Amino acid sequence: TVFDTQIAHLLWLERKNLNPYQASIAEVLRTFMQPVYRSHRWDELERKPIRAHLWKERPFTPQCLRYAIEGVVHLLPLHRVLCHQLGDPQGDMVMRRSTRYVSYPRLNRSELPTADTSIIKPGLPLQAMVASRRPNAMYFKLNHSALTGTVLDVDDLRDFQDAHPGDVTRCRVRSFSDCGQFVRLQREGHGTLFFDTTTGTMRPMPSRAEAEEVYPSRGSSLRDLGKRGGGGLSFDKSSYKEKKPDIIYRSGKRGVPKLRKPDLKLPKLRGEHKSFDPSFPS
């Protein structure tokens, strides 16, 4: 079992009806254990992060040793504080939620095996974990120290309607930033996805053949209605006599056309009859 302090902080945000995101241990300490944060000068560690290549050196530098120790020594007190804030003394709720993220260390191990970012090209498939979500942007963790995934386009954001902080989605690289720190992503299957309101997930749209197999097409009486020579509804004729032209030319009228009266005749109105009561005094 794993108790993830990031997940506990995320659950605490959900309890407070705040926008959930994955926070660093420094931010969690600053939120729940501020005296410890100040006494151990975590502000210095945040201002001066350890560069990735320093972790490969042996022996460790004093800065690396301090960062490693400070990142572990406060976990047990932080565990107790978070469980108290969540009203979960044993932390069972956090541990159940944390099981979804146990596989994160193996994320993109084959796609990004080294720190070299020159292999990142448009179309490269990646797995991305949602770190935070905003109305006009999303940020992802790629299990790579130098890279952060982003989605900024409105059309691309529609494909992530079912993605929440902590969820892992399959994406493809759209572009690479000039600074070399951000990767713009698109969800795999972009352009063919739709949001299924029944299951609350994004699903690929079926092909035409698959749709016709489930819902076979059938003829309709309204098909080609209004088209010349087409099908549509058919009616029986009221009369089979040859129809005379609507415009006629009477002799002696110098060719002045005259419209023929329509064949449709309206019913005559009957006169209204009033009845009088003879017993009523005049």
| E strand intervals along the chain | 125-134, 137-141, 148-151, 168-176, 182-187, 193-196, 201-204, 247-249, 257-259
Task: Give pLDDT, residue 253.
Answer: 60
Contacts of residue 67, Cβ cutoff 8 Å, sequence gap at least 6 = 45, 50
Contact (Cβ atoms closer than 8 angstroms) between residue 208 and residue 192: no
| 3-state helix/strand/coil string of 116-175 | CCCCCCCCCEEEEEEEEEECCEEEEECCCCCCEEEECCHHHHHHHCCCCCCCEEEEEEEE
Domain range list for the chain: 5-102, 106-195
Please state the φ and ψ torsions of residue 14, each to the nearest 5 degrees: -65, -35
Cβ–Cβ < 8 Å for 258, 249: yes
Residues 6+ apart with CB under 8 A from 243: none
Task: Provide the pLDDT for residue 207.
Answer: 85
Q: What is the pLDDT along the chain (282 residues), one digit of tens a residue?
A: 789 999 999 999 999 999 888 898 999 999 999 999 999 999 888 888 888 788 888 999 999 999 999 999 999 999 999 999 999 999 999 999 988 888 888 899 888 888 788 888 999 999 999 999 988 999 999 988 778 999 999 999 999 999 988 889 999 999 988 888 899 999 999 988 989 888 889 999 888 888 888 887 766 655 555 565 555 556 667 677 777 777 776 666 666 677 667 666 666 776 665 665 566 555
Q: CA-CA distance, 244 to 22, in Å (whole number)?
A: 83
What is the predicted pLDDT for the residue at 80? 95
Is CATH 3.30.70.260 what the domain over 106-195 is classified as, yes or no? no
- Residue 115: its pLDDT value, please? 79
